[in-house]
Amino acid sequence: MIEERRLTNINQAKDLIESCGLSINTNVDYTVGIFFHDELVATGSLSGDMLQMVAVSQQFQGEDLSSVVITHLIKYAFEIGKHNLYLFTKPEKTNIFTPLGFEVVAVAKPYAALLEWGRPGISEYCHNLKAQAGATYDNTCAIVMNCNPFTLGHQYLIETAASVSGKVFILAVQEELSAFPFDVRYKLMCEGTAHLPNVTVIPGGRYVVSSLTFPSYFTKDTQLANAHCAIDVEIFLKHIVPALGIKKRYIGTEPFSPVTEIYNRTMKERLIPAGIEVVELPRLDKSGAAISASRVRALLAQGNMDAVKELVPRSTYNYLISDAAIPVLSKLRKE
pLDDT at 7: 94
Does residue 99 register a pLDDT over 70? yes
Judge whether 2-119 and 123-334 match in fold. Answer: no
Burial category of 28 from C-beta neighbours within 10 Å (exposed 0-12, middle 13-18, buried 19 and up) = middle
- Flag whether the pTM goes above 0.85: yes
Predicted confidence band at 23 (pLDDT cuts at 50, 70, 90)?
Answer: confident
**% of residues, the chain, pLDDT over 90:** 76
Predicted confidence band at 275 (pLDDT cuts at 50, 70, 90)?
Answer: very high
Residue 297 parent element (H or E): helix 293-302
Predicted confidence band at 96 (pLDDT cuts at 50, 70, 90)?
Answer: confident
pLDDT at 26: 86
Strands of 50-56's sheet in order across:
2-7, 30-36, 39-47, 50-56, 84-89, 112-118, 103-108
Is the bond leading into 110 cis (omega within 30 degrees of zero)? Answer: yes
CA distance 156 to 312: 11
> What is the arithmetic mean of pLDDT over 64-81?
94
The residue ranges of every structural domain in the chain are: 2-119, 123-334
Does residue 322 register a pLDDT over 80? yes
Q: Is 232 helix (H, G, I), strand (E, B) or coil?
A: helix
pLDDT at 241: 97
Residue 66: alpha-carbon gap to chain centroid: 27
In eight-state DSSP terms, residue 283 is P
pLDDT at 101: 93
Q: pLDDT tens-digit profile of 179-232?
A: 999 999 999 999 999 999 999 999 999 899 888 877 766 666 667 788 889 999
> What is the arithmetic mean of pLDDT over 108-118?
92
pLDDT at 216: 67
Burial category of 128 from C-beta neighbours within 10 Å (exposed 0-12, middle 13-18, buried 19 and up) = middle
Lowest mean pLDDT among 70-74, 175-179, 267-271, 309-313: 175-179
- The answer to whether the CB of 296 falls within 8 A of the CB of 151 is yes
Nearest Cα neighbor of 160 from 202, 198, 208, 203 is: 198
Nearest Cα neighbor of 303 from 327, 276, 332 is: 332
Does residue 2 register a pLDDT over 90? no
Q: Tell whether the torsion through CA atoms of 317, 330, 183 and 49 is positive or negative.
A: positive
Q: pLDDT tens-digit profile of 226-261?
A: 888 999 999 999 999 999 999 999 999 877 778 888
**% of residues, the chain, pLDDT over 70:** 98
pLDDT, the chain, mean: 92
Residue 131: alpha-carbon gap to chain centroid: 22
Name the region of 135 (left: φ>0; alpha: ψ -120 to 50; beta: rest): beta
Write down how long the chain is.
Answer: 335
pLDDT at 271: 98
Q: Which fold has domain 123-334?
A: Rossmann fold (3.40.50)
Q: pLDDT tens-digit profile of 159-173?
A: 999 999 999 999 999
CATH of domain 2-119: 3.40.630.30
CA distance 73 to 44: 8
Q: Name residue 5's beta-bridge partners.
A: 33
φ and ψ at residue 114, rounded to 5 degrees:
-110, 130
Q: Is 248 helix (H, G, I), strand (E, B) or coil?
A: strand
CB under 8 Å to 42, separation ≥6 — which residues? 16, 33, 34, 54, 55, 56, 57, 60, 65, 66, 68, 69
